[in-house]
Chain A
């Protein structure tokens, strides 16, 4: 069975995000970029499945400009067998990405797709769900536990009400949550080996996929700064301040 793992190049979770002064977005110039943390967890799970003998090949895929090859190489260094770049300079939306993934799934005869539950830059949590619908296959999202059976998967999902366990038939789309596993560290020699693993490039423009832009970001503002607090000396002053603000 072949597993496809989607990874996204995002601003590293450690970076302090700054909004551009013209409000057109966030500063990405010279800022550290990494694999979306949930995607690393997805890849770790795929690698464990392959190491358990239940899959033959793990393919990492990313959509973007040539910079995202850095993240694909990191995925290969972690242990993926092959990498695919969907090459585009456009800022793709989940629906277009889902369509591109579907093209690769059909071309490669993928048996299981594992994605991060959401990207930490836009927090959309849409790609996996849309992909499942386009592919007309089951989805199991926010997985915190995954057990593969014979042509099925038992997935424990973290949902608002608690934990929900469902069985899905493969092929399927699974999106992963934080507690599924802890991704492995990359070994130095594997970084060297990753340079020699295959990385295929597919131009988005060669695929007949509409990349419509129904959504346009009109502006970005930083969260409003909290007003300075006032330290009060005693209860009397506290009551006076509250009264002044019409709060009591």
Chain B
């Protein structure tokens, strides 16, 4: 280990030095770290992760393609991650309120050879491999800022201070965050990473690409009554409870030991200001195809996370002086497959190979764009944008694009999600045919309980509102405060005080999904990282 500790003359912060610092212990970051050590054992590599334990802040369906794992860790199947079930069958349905229609499984949803995993458990397992390879992994430490070198290039990260009170003053437990200096910083924060967001703006990495677009994924892990789950069964649905103008659907993945992973994804480019993704998910659970399976069961864990959907057209430049973007911090998820883990791992491994070969970030962007990762995104680039004009036109476009394997000359453009919200006065919510609910959780607060999210209340609020007056004036009138509906954790509340309405931010509920940062129509919400170790404690999600 070459990490040296000394005092930084200019800022007074203690400094640790590494050859490579990876921000985020997700599949991209960990694959990158492991690969680096495989290629050059004496490199000093560290991974920092804001969650208290690797895996606690990440969630996904997830059905993964194992090829990158086969490449990175041959023989992994001898000792697979704790939750790992081979896919046995694929089913694809269109739902109406009380019926289901089985559709032929689209080629992108054929999962033979793939595995259903818990991404959180898999990251924890990957972290073990990384540590054995000699990577230093530091969970519980949040990167708060970028450390810039004198020439303006990225030279590492600044760890957030801990023990700061709500007003920003040091408490008795105050501990100043150190600086980690490294000639190479890998941003692997996942979708809408806060440092990635800063860097993309700083270096104008997105000036030649379409706006990035996103979805929100909400998931629950259920233990159902014995006999109700069929291990290896993979199910996806479209249609109800969504109307054709909202892109989205659900997934139901059957694990072993009576566990079922059930979740709901919808595009964040929806127009209805009254729409609540969380409520849509709960409705889905009450469909006759799903409800009997869940009745009598119990929720083990739940959570939510934004997912990146822009793909090929929205990919920013992924290299900048001293740093690289990998995984979903760049935006590599394949939407029709709803899979991003294999892409993330591939990009991490590619980044590692590039760093060892060239020693600088220059040239990585070209390498990524010439790689299989980009080819995969290119092939499906028109499918998601096709749904901008509704479900049926989207399915038609998807069929054409699938048949022509993405070889048509056109590239449809992506639009920015926050601009798509219609004003309350201009939008009439369609008749949704939603039902009265019985299954737990009763509401978002009850759901947050299962996310076991925890923040010390006495710390600065990590959801910065750049212009809070807008909330009680313009936004109330124009959009009826949609943040109180799109947040899956009930963080935002409009309360009526004696002096009038005000926005109350229940920051302690936050599950770090980033939806508010994305969907807020005025783009005045800036998500920054709370104290390291805070946030959800997802178990096997």
**Do A185 and B162 have beta carbons less than 8 Å apart?**
yes
Residue from the list A12, A15, A191 in contact with B138, Cβ < 8 A: A191
Inter-chain residue pair count (beta carbon < 8 A): 55
In Å, the complex CA distance between A192 and B138 comes to 10
**Do A14 and B178 have beta carbons less than 8 Å apart?**
no
Contacts of A30 in B (CB 8 A): 82, 121, 124, 539-540
For B141, the closest partner residue in chain A by CB is A188
Kindly state the interface size class of chain A when it binds its partner: 10 to 19
Residue from the list B16, B121, B540 in contact with A188, Cβ < 8 A: B16
Residue from the list B5, B56, B173 in contact with A184, Cβ < 8 A: B173
CB distance from A29 to the nearest CB of B (A): 7
Residue from the list B136, B452, B454 in contact with A192, Cβ < 8 A: B136
CB distance from A77 to the nearest CB of B (A): 11
Residue from the list B124, B173, B450 in contact with A16, Cβ < 8 A: B450
A197 within 8 A of B: no
Contacts of A18 in B (CB 8 A): 300
B53 within 8 A of A: yes
Residue from the list A32, A188, A192 in contact with B159, Cβ < 8 A: A188
CB distance from B199 to the nearest CB of A (A): 22
A182 within 8 A of B: yes
Interface bits B1-22 vs A (CB < 8 Å: 1, else 0): 1010100000000101000000
Contacts of B56 in A (CB 8 A): 32
Contacts of A191 in B (CB 8 A): 138
Contacts of A31 in B (CB 8 A): 539
Contacts of A183 in B (CB 8 A): 173
Contacts of A192 in B (CB 8 A): 1, 3, 5, 16, 136
**Do A15 and B178 have beta carbons less than 8 Å apart?**
no
Contacts of B454 in A (CB 8 A): 14
Please, how many residues of chain B have a CB less than 8 angstroms from a CB on the other chain?
A: 31
For A187, the closest partner residue in chain B by CB is B175
Which among A12, A15, A30, A184 has the highest number of chain B CB atoms within 10 Å? A30
B441 within 8 A of A: no
A229 within 8 A of B: no
A189 within 8 A of B: yes
**Do B5 and A189 have beta carbons less than 8 Å apart?**
yes
Contacts of B140 in A (CB 8 A): 186
CB distance from A223 to the nearest CB of B (A): 14
Chain A, range 1-59, C-beta contacts under 8 Å to B:
12, 14-16, 18, 29-32
B163 within 8 A of A: yes
B524 within 8 A of A: no
Contacts of A187 in B (CB 8 A): 14, 175, 178
**Do B175 and A14 have beta carbons less than 8 Å apart?**
no
Chain A, range 143-199, C-beta contacts under 8 Å to B:
182-189, 191-192
In Å, the complex CA distance between A188 and B1 comes to 14
Measuring CB to CB, which residues of chain B are less than 8 angstroms from any residue of chain A? 1, 3, 5, 14, 16, 52-53, 56, 82, 121, 124, 136, 138, 140-141, 159, 162-163, 172-173, 175, 178, 180, 300-301, 450, 452, 454, 537, 539-540
- Given contacts A32-B539, A188-B138, A192-B136, 15 further A-B pairs with CB under 8 A are A14-B537, A15-B452, A15-B537, A16-B452, A16-B539, A30-B121, A30-B124, A31-B539, A184-B173, A184-B175, A185-B163, A185-B173, A189-B5, A189-B14, A189-B178
8 contacts between A and B (CB under 8 A): A15-B452, A184-B175, A185-B162, A185-B163, A188-B159, A188-B180, A192-B5, A192-B136
